């Protein structure tokens, strides 16, 4: 393993306006807060089974509102900077943002109310948002000069998003009263639900999280790079799942075959990636205390736990195990990593856009000073507390525990939101005649 320069291979001059990734990043605490309100209102009911309306609302607040929002913002930022892929018509992202918010709100309303019109509005809005995001980004990535495994992983992830969205649109069509999708050859409701969730977590979230880590961990923590052969193996595993899982569903193969096709990406994200990355974080050159490193450690520890819950959910009849799997995968593994990345990437972006032009002209604070460690520590503590309370509430079905978990989610959302807003509102006092990057 070798150490990378923090800015190796970066095309910082191609970065999009700060407002584009920031607008998506700010949706994360809003979605977490909405999930907290939901649990405080409904208690343990959404945690009894993944098939319940409240559970569907909570799951999509997590997968779309939290994870999806951060990932869309991250891809808009990293595609041009890391892959050299200039996204055409990048300001369409503002329209994508509006459609994304409207779609999530309508979909959650549909789950809670059962209204067909809400599902229809949610499906149309999310389809517009995903197409408006994926088409320009893929055009940029396909023509990008960079061929590293971060760029390739982003391609796999965005292609998988289109597949996951197509499956989701099929379910929305059924809930909206258009049952013709049930006549599609190979359609099996249980298998397609498994594919929708499995592909979404392993080859959309997992592939992107793994790909981004190859760049973020050496850049921000001076961690040794993972050997290229292992980066290639994990990328190929996600690509295999992306190809084989949809084929399994299209041909109507038994559900156990679908589970086998999901295994390569699941093993890559939840076993191989933690095994490869945890040692590099322990060997990082930058040893000073950093709460975001702790979030990465906790995330990587949660990864095999999510896989264990997924296996138990398949082997045992208790429906709570399926909820525990989603909870550990979304709010544990992916949620902790994205919390850490937000607290690292957002200060860096603000420093790059607003402070880097002033370097050498006036005294500027370092990136670390833009978001103090104690603020990150408080948000991290609330996040971990809510994760543990959620597992306990799922196990016991006790309403007070579920509502306490909801309160912890609200606190996490408030602290994370405060941290992000405080950084994004930071503007240095510029000497006359010096202009920043217009962010």
Q: Provide DSSP, 380-436.
A: HHHHHHHHHHHHHHHHH--HHHHHHHHHHHHHHHHHHHHHHHHHHT----PPTT---
- Report pLDDT for 12: 58
- Report pLDDT for 254: 92
Residues 6+ apart with CB under 8 A from 83: 140, 141, 144, 146, 148, 150, 151, 154
Rounded to whole angstroms, the Cα distance separating 18 from 424 reads 9
Rounded to whole angstroms, the Cα distance separating 123 from 115 reads 13
| Secondary structure (3-state) at 85 | coil
Rounded to whole angstroms, the Cα distance separating 214 from 195 reads 26
- ∠135-141-142 over CA atoms, to 5°? 90
| Secondary structure (3-state) at 178 | coil
| Secondary structure (3-state) at 3 | strand
Please name which of 12, 18, 20 lies closest in space to residue 91, comparing C-alpha atoms. 20
Instruction: Strands of 254-375 (E only): list them.
Output: none
Rounded to whole angstroms, the Cα distance separating 1 from 218 reads 11
Tell me the CA end-to-end span of the chain in Å, nearest whole number: 37
| Secondary structure (3-state) at 362 | strand
Contact 387, 332 (CB under 8 A): yes
| Secondary structure (3-state) at 319 | coil
- Report pLDDT for 399: 96
Per-domain boundaries in the chain: 12-424
- Report pLDDT for 183: 66
pTM of the model: 0.92
The hierarchical CATH code for the domain 12-424 is 1.20.210.10
| Low-confidence residues of the chain: pLDDT under 70 | 1-13, 179-183, 286-287, 429-439
């Amino acid at each position: 393993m070798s150490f990378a320069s923090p800015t190796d291979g970066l095309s910082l001059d191609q970065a999009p306006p700060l407002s584009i990734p920031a607008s998506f990043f700010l949706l994360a605490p809003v979605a977490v807060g909405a999930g907290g309100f939901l649990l405080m209102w409904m208690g343990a009911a959404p945690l009894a089974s993944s098939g319940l309306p409240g559970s569907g609302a909570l799951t999509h607040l997590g997968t779309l509102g939290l994870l999806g929002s951060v990932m869309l913002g991250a891809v808009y930022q990293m595609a041009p900077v890391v892959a050299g892929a200039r996204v055409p018509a990048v300001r369409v992202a503002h329209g994508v943002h509006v459609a994304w918010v409207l779609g999530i709100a309508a979909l959650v309303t549909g789950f809670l109310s059962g209204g067909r019109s809400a599902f229809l509005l949610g499906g149309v809005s999310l389809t517009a948002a995903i197409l408006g995001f994926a088409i320009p980004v893929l055009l940029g990535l396909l023509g990008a000069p960079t061929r590293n495994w971060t760029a390739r992983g982003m391609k796999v992830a965005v292609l998988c998003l289109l597949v996951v969205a197509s499956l989701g649109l099929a379910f929305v069509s059924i809930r909206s009263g258009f049952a013709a999708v049930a006549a599609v050859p190979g359609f099996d409701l249980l298998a397609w639900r498994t594919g929708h969730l499995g592909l979404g977590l392993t080859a959309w979230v997992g592939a992107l999280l793994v790909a981004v880590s190859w760049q973020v961990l050496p850049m921000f923590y001076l961690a040794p790079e993972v050997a290229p052969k292992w980066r290639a193996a994990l990328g190929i595993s996600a690509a295999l799942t992306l190809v084989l899982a949809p084929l399994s569903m299209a041909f109507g193969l038994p559900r156990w075959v679908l589970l086998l096709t999901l295994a390569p990406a699941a093993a890559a994200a939840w076993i191989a990636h933690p095994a490869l990355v945890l040692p590099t974080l322990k060997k990082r050159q930058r040893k000073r205390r950093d709460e975001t490193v702790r979030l990465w450690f906790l995330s990587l520890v949660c990864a095999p736990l999510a896989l264990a819950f997924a296996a138990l959910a398949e082997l045992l009849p208790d429906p709570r195990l399926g909820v525990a799997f989603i909870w550990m995968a979304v709010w544990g593994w992916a949620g902790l990593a994205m919390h850490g990345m937000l607290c690292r990437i957002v200060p860096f972006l603000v420093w790059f856009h607003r402070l880097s032009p002033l370097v050498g002209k006036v005294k500027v604070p370092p990136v670390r000073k833009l978001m103090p460690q104690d603020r990150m520590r408080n948000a991290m503590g609330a996040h971990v507390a809510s994760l543990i309370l959620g597992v306990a509430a799922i196990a016991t079905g006790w309403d007070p525990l579920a509502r306490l978990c909801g309160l912890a989610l609200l606190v996490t959302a408030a602290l994370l939101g405060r941290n992000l807003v405080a950084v994004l509102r930071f503007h240095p006092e510029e000497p006359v005649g010096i202009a920043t990057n217009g962010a």
